[in-house]
Amino acid sequence: MHKIQPFHLAIPVDNLEEARMFYRETLGCEEGRSSDHWVDFNFFGHQLVIHYKDASETRNTGSNPVDGKEVPIPHFGVVLTWETFQDLSAELKNKQIDFVIEPYIRFEGQVGEQATMFFKDPCGNALEFKAFKNIDQLFAK
């Protein structure tokens, strides 16, 4: 079994300053190294790098139906503790985030119970934050 290490993810943004403010101010991510074309963030213990890319070159997105909701594809995010998820979702509601899928509980009262929410950054990158009531269910079959 491999020891879990932080991941590295690089995403395109068509407005570096707007995206920088979102990840730093809205999500509370600590900013790291940067240049005039990219910015590193501590994304909940993982390295996220936003790279400027002209809007005409960014990817198109679609969705897949899950639980009667349209889940944006592609998307990325993190698994949080149950308490951190609850705190973050309340904070984002107070900041009036425009959710693609409002925070809700899947499989409530069942094995695999989880909380999830989806929203987009200012450049259209879809993010999912989730939490498992019992973290041991994260990779269960």
pLDDT tens per residue, range 31-89: 999 999 999 999 999 999 999 998 766 666 788 888 888 998 899 999 999 999 999 99
Q: Do 91 and 135 have their domain in common?
A: yes
Return the pLDDT at 45: 95
Q: Looking up tokens 């509980």, which residue turns up?
A: 105
26 within a domain of the structure (yes/no): yes
pTM of the entire predicted model: 0.90
pLDDT of residue 26: 97
pLDDT for 139 beyond 90: no
Q: Are residues 70 and 130 in the same domain?
A: yes
Residue 16 and residue 82 in one domain = no
Rounded-to-integer distance, Cα 119 and Cα 100, Å: 5
Residues 78 and 46 in one domain: no
Among 16-30, 44-58, 92-106, the minimum mean pLDDT is found in 44-58
User: Using CA atoms, how far apart are residues 26 and 35, in angstroms rounded to an integer?
Assistant: 21
User: In terms of domains, do 4 and 40 share one?
Assistant: yes
Whether residues 68 and 48 share a domain: the answer is: no
Residue 4 structural domain: 1-52
58 found inside a domain: no
Instruction: Give the phi and the psi of residue 58 in degrees, each rounded to 5.
Output: -80, 160
Residue 59's pLDDT is 60
- State the DSSP string of 96-140: T--EEEEEEEESTTSTT-EEEEEEE-TTS-EEEEEEESSGGGTT-
Let me know whether 84 and 141 are in one domain.
Answer: yes
Distance, CA of 88 to CA of 129 (rounded, Å):
9
37 and 89 part of one domain: no
The confidence score (pLDDT) of residue 116 equals 97
Q: Hey, what amino acid is at 4?
A: I
Are 7 and 74 found together in one domain? no
119: CATH: 3.10.180.10
- Examine the domain organization and report whether 43 and 69 are in the same domain: no
SS3 66: strand
The tokens for 42 are 């501590």
Is residue 57 a part of any domain in this protein?
no
| Residue 108 in domain | yes
Residues 76 and 35 in one domain: no
